[in-house]
Amino acid sequence: DARDSKSRGGNTVSVRVRSLAPNFFLTMGVVMEECIFCKVVAGDISSKSVMDTDNVLVLKDIAPKAPIHYLIIPKKHLQDLRSFEDIDSNLAGELLMTAQKLSELNDGVPFRILINNGHEVGQRVNHVHLHFLAGKELPELF
């Protein structure tokens, strides 16, 4: 982290640079963009994680849609799967393997992975996350 805060003419100029979370910052006291999951990753919002590795964080969803509802979140800020590049392919694999581990931790429970990519299809947090849903019979989607 590099933090820099200076007072100029009564206004506070605050710039925060994070290598993993470059997407939120304050300029002239105005929040340009915020990402709730980046804040969780940075520890700015306290949360109890289910799993925490170098690249991946798993949280319990605050509004669970199933008895088991985890969110698998990459620590790197990527808006959705459309933002992934070749360099992120290992991470993509890690996210899926995290789902496998979560099932293992729950006695091999069957599960559904759901990823919303874009506001029109239901994405409300613009930091890619995999919904891990389990613990009850889920409705057919199609």
**Contact between 35 and Zn ion per CB under 5 A:** yes
Does 71 sit near ligand AMP (CB under 6 A)?
yes
Q: Which of 35, 20, 129, 125 is nearest to 73 (CA)?
A: 129
Q: How far is the CB of 73 from ligand AMP (least distance, A)?
A: 9
Q: Which is nearer to Zn ion, 77 or 131 (CB)?
A: 77
Distance CA(63)–CA(76), nearest Å, equals 23
Residue 57: which of 43, 126, 33 has the closest Cα?
43
Binding ligand AMP by CB under 6 A: which of 2, 30, 31, 62?
Answer: 62
Residues 103-122 that bind ligand AMP (CB under 6 A): 116, 122
Interface with ligand AMP includes 83 (CB under 6 A)?
no
Is the backbone of residue 29 left (phi > 0), alpha (psi -120 to 50) or beta? left
Give me the 67-106 binding string for Zn ion, x by CB under 5 A, dash otherwise.
----------x-----------------------------
CA distance 123 to 102: 22
Residues marked active site are found at: 129
